Amino acid sequence: MPKRLTLAVSQSHTLPTTAATLTALASNAQEAARQGVDLLLFPEAYLGGYPRTCNFGAAVGSRSPEGREQFLQYFHSAVDLGDTPRGAGDDWVERKLDLAKGQDRRGDGTREVLEKAATETGVFLVVGLVERAGGSLSCAVVYVCPKEGCIGKRRKVMPTGSERLVWAQGSPSTLKAVTTTIKAVKLTLAAAICWENYMPLLRYSLYSQNVNLYLAPTADARDTWLPLMRTIACESRAYVLSANQCVRRKHLPPWIRSPASETAESSTASKDTPKREDNSSGAKAEETQQYKICALDQGNMPKTPEPTPVDKAHGVISPSPLHIGGTPSDLDSRTDSPVKQRKGRRRSSNLMPMPDNHFLALPGDSAVDESPEKHDTKPKAPADDGEEELVCRGGSCIIGPTGEVLEGPLWDVEDGGLLIARDIDFEDCERGRLDLDVAGSYSRNDAFELRVAGLDLNPPP
């Protein structure tokens, strides 16, 4: 019997508050359920936010008071899942950690909200988030099963570039794969976050656990990302899901866009406090910190190759509590094949033609220009138009187990776009092992050996 599921990634951006982002997450999960999705991946740091363009007032040898206020705001936006600073592993998963007197749970309730969203929709959720534990922040991913709740969580072991200023390093023991069964299909899944995917030994630690679903939440929108995802799929013989946020400058929190005005209200420093701390002799600590947009750790101006043709069973849907003008089943009745080319504008539904007779359904009822030349899905250089400037262009994708692009990359869709791959046959992962099993028959494990501190590299039972 074929082992087939429907998988999706949500190209959603963080909203101004955690509560609003959790509400949007639940809406995305509900729309995914309506579309028959079995598992849904959200981007890196979706909860808590990715602090793109923020330098936190830091330079080598100095940190500014304004930067400390920015970190305070970011610290408060992170979620508390009730774990320990070191990470309690299975004790956290199984709720064995001590509770505070008079409390019936640990943390701020985010874990319970995620579990409720998964339970109510029946969708397995994998969510990227920024976790607060003790006095430190970590970039993390949590696996949320509709039946069992949170069955695993891992923290990024190697933050990239200036991320290391604000994110702690996670334990390699959290690279442990998790297993679940959906519609009689057994999944072994694990996540590598953003540039962890550039770490060959880390990737191999996941391959060794025989994953058939490899998850890559990211903040990287460079044109090098898609080839990396295809390489990982080909190496692992697993399906690969990658989710990124599409973000305009106006979506960044106020404490990043206008640090001076935002921090002035909350700063407790006196007027006599120097504007800048400096550890080097002879430096002028009194000089006012001049904020400049720093070079991004994760790029945003990709030049992407033409999308690989995909099966008609796959589709791109944008979830929203608003009306969506059409589903994959009724698109043929709305347009001729392959794409009905009409001039002018319409308001009945916002269906954007995509290559190979696919469509992108956008929420709302504003007019959509249907001229074919207006719907080029290739990445374009972002315009320098202030608040509307794209600081991250997305690029979410779904890749098959021999490296074929099933869906995406999805560019410039910022309002909860769902990228859906339907009728995914997980027996293709086993078919691919005929000629390549990099952690088994193709590994030469008699000559090469990998050890990871605190991690069992054997496939989970």
Residues noted as catalytic: 44, 156, 194
User: Could you tell me if 158 and 71 are in contact, meaning their C-beta atoms sit under 8 angstroms apart?
Assistant: no
| Sign of the alpha-carbon torsion through 327, 328, 334, 338 | positive
* Amino acid found at 94: E
Q: CA-CA distance, 105 to 257, in Å (whole number)?
A: 35
Element (H, E) at 334: none
Helix pair 18-34, 110-121: axis angle to 10 deg: 10
Report helix, strand or coil for 251: helix
Determine the Cα–Cα distance for residues 365 and 380; give it in Å rounded to an integer. Answer: 25
CA distance readout (Å), 182 to 13, 40, 122, 429? 27, 13, 10, 16
- Bridge partners of residue 400, in order along the sequence: none
The alpha helices in 88-136, defined as continuous H runs, are 90-93, 110-121
147 secondary structure, DSSP code: T
Do residues 409 and 307 lie in contact, with contact meaning Cβ atoms separated by under 8 Å?
A: yes
What is the distance in angstroms between the CA of the first residue and the CA of the last residue of the chain? 22
Burial of 294 (0-12, 13-18, 19+ CB in 10 A): middle
327 to each of 36, 77, 132, how far by Cα in Å? 12, 36, 39
Measured distance CA(11)–CA(273) in Å, rounded: 43
SS3 167: coil
Give the Cα separation of 62 and 104 in Å (integer): 42
The CB-side HSE value for 394 (13 A sphere, CA atoms) comes to 29
Provide the strand spans (E) within 327-389: 345-346, 351-354, 358-361, 368-369
